[in-house]
Structure formats: structure tokens, C-alpha cells
């Protein structure tokens, strides 16, 4: 893989173990501006842990993460960052959670406004206007005063995406954003994500939606048992997988898709 000149995200040799189990082993990759990178692999392959290592919700045992060339988590001098410094960097990395993680004590609009106001301390009027525009964009303008408990799963996740976008992040991470949804609600979330991809948002998406990955991704990473087994364009990966493990993985998905259609 060629090194990008100015990657938004640069992951270098990240490893992570939980006790004796090695979940990630020496993972390196880069994401350029405007790329949509989908991380694929069987469950337990370490995809979510990799994502959580990028914004240091999980502390990597080894390796480095750089956002726009700046180190994340550990300073250039090798010192682990304090909470304040780490928080500052996290404001530039948005995250969308599998189970939404909306704040239940705040309304939809308040969920969007909370961090830009409290953390970034941007002017209230500007944030408010932007938040309303984002809600319109994800089709939930009329739900702005509802509490999260009143929303469907698909609506919750669209709010989750809008909440991440309200921070104007340089990079957006998605942790299996449609896995917790009823099948009929998956589509409405994928539409929003596809639009973001077209608009040139830089995204890393952990997902099991193969069709989405094939259509929307600029690049695919394939993880298996904590190792990065394969990377390439969706076309290469889905049509001509280079490794036996990727072939097996894709076959199983194809079989499941056929069963699901019946």
C-alpha cells in the first residue's frame, strides 16, 4: 500500500491484548481526506477494538495513532496524555455507537447542542442553527424536542450521527451502526451514511453490511483474529479476494444473504 502524503488518520503498528488474548496485532493503515474505509471481518476479529483504539476509548498496548499528523493519546515525547489534552483531540473525532448511546435526559436537539456548547464553547446561536440544519439533513427536524426514549432505533441512530456531525469532526468513526436495528430500519441509516460518503466526509466504518461496503466504500480493510489480512478497493476485495480466509468469509455472507432473502 502506498503511503498517502497527508493522511487524516494514520494508524501505525497498533496492538492490544485483553489479558492473555491478543485482540489486535500490529495493525497499520492510513485514511486520506474524503475516504470511506469499511472495516470488515467475522465477529471477534477485533474490528470494534481497532475503532476504539483510534480515539483512545481503548488504550493500545503498542503502536501510534495520528490525526492530521498529530499524535493521539501519547505525546511526541512518549508521555500518555492527560484527560484534558485527550478530550481536545477527541472533539475532532466523531463517533457513532452501536447502541446509539444518546443521552436520555436530554432532548434530541439538546443531545446535538450539548458538546459544541459545553466542550467547544462555540456561540450558542451558531450551534443552534447548525444543529437544526443537521436534524433536517437526517430527516428528523420534527423530532427536535422529543426525548430519545420516544424514537425508533433508526431515528435514534440518525440522531447519533447528527450529534457526531455537530462537532464538525475531521474524522467520523462508526461502530456497527446498524447492528442493533430491526432489519426494516437499517435502510434509513445507510442512506444518511451514503450521503455523507458522497459529500466527502472522512469515515471509518465497522460494519456487516456487505452491500453498503461494496457500493459506498473507497477502500476495505479485512480483519481476522486481530490481524489485517487484506486491504484493497471494494471491487478487488469482493470480486477477487486475495486470501483464502477472505474467500471463506465472503462465501458465508453470500449464503446468509440468500437464506435471508427467502
Partner 1 sequence: MTPGDISAFAQGAVVTVALSVAGILIGLPVGLGLALIRWARVPVIGRLVALYVSILRATPLVTLLLLLFFALPNVGVPIDPYSAAILALSMNTSAFNCEIWRAALLAFPKDQLEAAMSVGMSAGLRFRRIVLPQIARASLPALVNEMSLLIKVTPVLAVVGVVDITRAAVRIGAETYEPLPPFLVAVALYAPIIYGLVSLQRFIERRQAAAEAA
Interface residues with partner 1 (CB under 8 A)? Answer: 55, 57, 83-84, 87-95, 97, 99, 101-105, 114-115, 118-120, 149-150, 163-164, 167, 173
Measured CA to CA, the distance from residue 40 to residue 140 in angstroms comes to 29
Min dist CB 106 to partner 1, Å, is 8
Nearer to partner 1, 176 or 224 (CB): 176
CA 60: distance to chain centroid?
17
Min dist CB 119 to partner 1, Å, is 5
Nearer to partner 1, 101 or 242 (CB): 101
- Cell numbers representing residue 210 in the block: 456487505
**Strands, DSSP E only, in 33-189?**
36-40, 62-67, 70-72, 93-96, 171-175
Min dist CB 159 to partner 1, Å, is 12
- In this structure, what DSSP letter does residue 166 have? T
Min dist CB 122 to partner 1, Å, is 13
Radius of gyration of the chain (CA): 18
Nearer to partner 1, 105 or 262 (CB): 105
Min dist CB 86 to partner 1, Å, is 8
Dihedral sign, CA of 41, 43, 46, 51? positive
Counting every residue written for the chain, the total comes to: 262
DSSP letters for 24-68? EEEEEEEE-TT-EEEEE--TTSSHHHHHHHHTTSS--SEEEEEET
Helix, strand, coil percentages, rounded to 5, for the chain: 40, 25, 35
Nearer to partner 1, 80 or 254 (CB): 80
124: Cβ–Cβ under 8 A, 6 or more apart, which residues?
Answer: 113, 117
Nearer to partner 1, 102 or 210 (CB): 102
Dihedral sign, CA of 86, 92, 93, 95? positive
Min dist CB 143 to partner 1, Å, is 15
Min dist CB 91 to partner 1, Å, is 3
Nearer to partner 1, 115 or 204 (CB): 115
Nearer to partner 1, 98 or 236 (CB): 98
Amino acid at each position: 500500500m502506498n503511503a498517502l502524503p497527508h493522511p487524516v488518520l494514520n494508524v501505525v503498528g497498533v496492538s492490544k491484548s485483553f489479558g492473555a488474548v491478543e485482540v489486535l496485532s500490529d495493525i497499520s493503515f492510513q485514511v486520506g481526506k474524503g475516504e470511506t474505509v469499511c472495516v470488515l471481518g467475522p465477529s471477534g476479529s477485533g474490528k470494534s477494538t481497532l475503532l476504539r483504539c483510534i480515539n483512545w476509548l481503548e488504550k493500545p498496548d503498542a503502536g501510534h495513532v495520528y490525526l492530521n499528523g498529530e499524535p493521539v493519546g501519547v505525546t511526541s515525547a512518549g508521555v500518555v496524555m492527560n484527560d484534558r489534552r485527550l478530550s481536545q483531540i477527541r472533539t475532532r473525532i466523531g463517533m457513532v455507537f452501536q447502541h446509539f448511546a444518546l443521552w436520555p435526559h436530554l432532548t434530541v436537539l439538546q443531545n446535538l447542542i450539548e458538546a459544541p456548547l459545553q466542550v467547544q464553547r462555540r456561540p450558542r446561536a451558531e450551534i443552534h442553527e447548525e444543529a437544526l440544519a443537521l436534524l433536517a439533513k437526517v430527516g428528523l427536524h420534527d423530532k427536535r424536542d422529543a426525548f430519545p426514549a420516544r424514537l425508533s432505533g433508526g431515528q435514534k441512530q440518525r440522531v447519533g450521527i447528527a450529534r457526531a456531525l455537530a462537532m464538525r469532526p475531521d474524522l467520523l468513526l462508526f461502530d456497527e451502526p446498524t447492528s442493533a436495528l430491526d432489519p426494516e430500519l437499517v435502510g434509513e441509516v445507510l442512506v444518511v451514511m451514503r450521503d455523507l460518503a458522497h459529500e466527502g466526509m472522512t469515515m471509518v466504518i465497522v460494519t456487516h453490511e456487505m452491500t453498503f461496503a461494496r457500493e459506498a466504500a473507497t477502500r476495505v480493510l479485512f480483519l481476522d483474529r486481530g490481524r489485517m489480512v487484506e486491504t484493497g478497493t471494494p471491487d478487488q476485495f469482493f470480486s477477487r479476494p486475495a486470501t483464502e480466509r477472505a474467500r471463506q468469509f465472503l462465501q458465508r455472507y453470500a449464503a446468509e444473504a440468500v437464506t435471508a432473502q427467502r
